Amino acid sequence: MNARDWLIQLYPRAWRERYGEEFDALLEECLHSPLDALDIFLGALDAHLEFPFEMNWRLMNMVNKLRTSILIVFAAYIGFIVGGMSFYGLVDDSPMADLMKARADMPLFAAWTAVEVGAVIALLSVVIGGLPLAWTVIRRALTSSREDLRWLLVPVFAFLALVLYVMFMASIGLGRLQIPGVVPVVSHDNFPLGNRLLIGGFMLVFILGAIVSTVAVWKIISNTNMPESTFKILGREKSVKLYEYAFIPAVVATLAMLLMLIATIIWGWLAYSAMPQVFAEHWGLLLTSTTSSFITTVAIMLASTAVAFFGVARGYLARKMA
């Protein structure tokens, strides 16, 4: 079996029976590089998502690719949030905290403001782009799909777990709960192992919650086989093409992530110029190296932004070829 045959076998049987010959001819023309193979692999993922086969191949291919592209951007955005939280924690718990609002230093202030503005734009874009899809998913889960309802509860339970953990940490900080080896208030010079494990547990709950919530959202949207949905707005019914509608906000969110990435790098460079001694010390997460912690944060943001741009590029090509 050659590579082309193996790639075709990744697609569902019903899909191969209907589109196999046409797709094989397309592969013979287009399969030239590892990136092409990656796109075909993702196309197989698209094809396994539930969609009615009454669509013609080009329309179905576009809608499926748009859906997967939006999911890729959403997953990248969640990854970027993890990086952003790491960045804020690094700065807020170090002598660099004063530099967050250093209005006297205009370049530093502008860079930090750009990070904040980018965060707001990205969040609004995700909310605006995902609102019709979220409402469709919730309506479907409450009326016809118990499986989707169970998946829908995953982000809720993940958020509740995080809230309970924060309440647990707050009880220790306020002195209402005492645990051997854990102090209510920590400092750079007094940071016991118990407190490091406590904060490490918070980071673990947050990251695992983000992962399982992303998987749940991916699964729910994968089960949503309606490319359009009707909403009543101001007394009038409005039909919305869910994935085409969400694509532009996904592009905006991706550009906002790029803005935040660039602003973070500039801010870090300016902060290093202002306080080089801090980057030589251990003010990172759990008192790790400041420099290593900052580099790791930037790497997470960079990887997330690259993934988001890949998703956007794939969605753009799908719309262009439709």
pLDDT in tens, 204-256: 999 999 999 988 887 787 766 666 777 777 677 778 788 888 999 999 999 99
8-state DSSP, 14: H
Q: How many CB atoms lie within 10 A of CB 62?
A: 22
Give the pLDDT of residue 205: 95
Residue 61 region by backbone torsions, left for phi larger than 0, else alpha for psi between -120 and 50, else beta: alpha
**Which DSSP string corresponds to 103-150?**
TTSHHHHHHHHHHHHHHHHHHHHHHHHHHHHHHHHHHHHHHT-HHHHH
**Which DSSP string corresponds to 221-248?**
HHT---SEEEEEETTEEEEEEHHHHHHH
Q: What's the pLDDT band for 53 if we cut at 50, 70, 90?
A: very low
pTM exceeding the 0.75 threshold for the entire prediction = yes
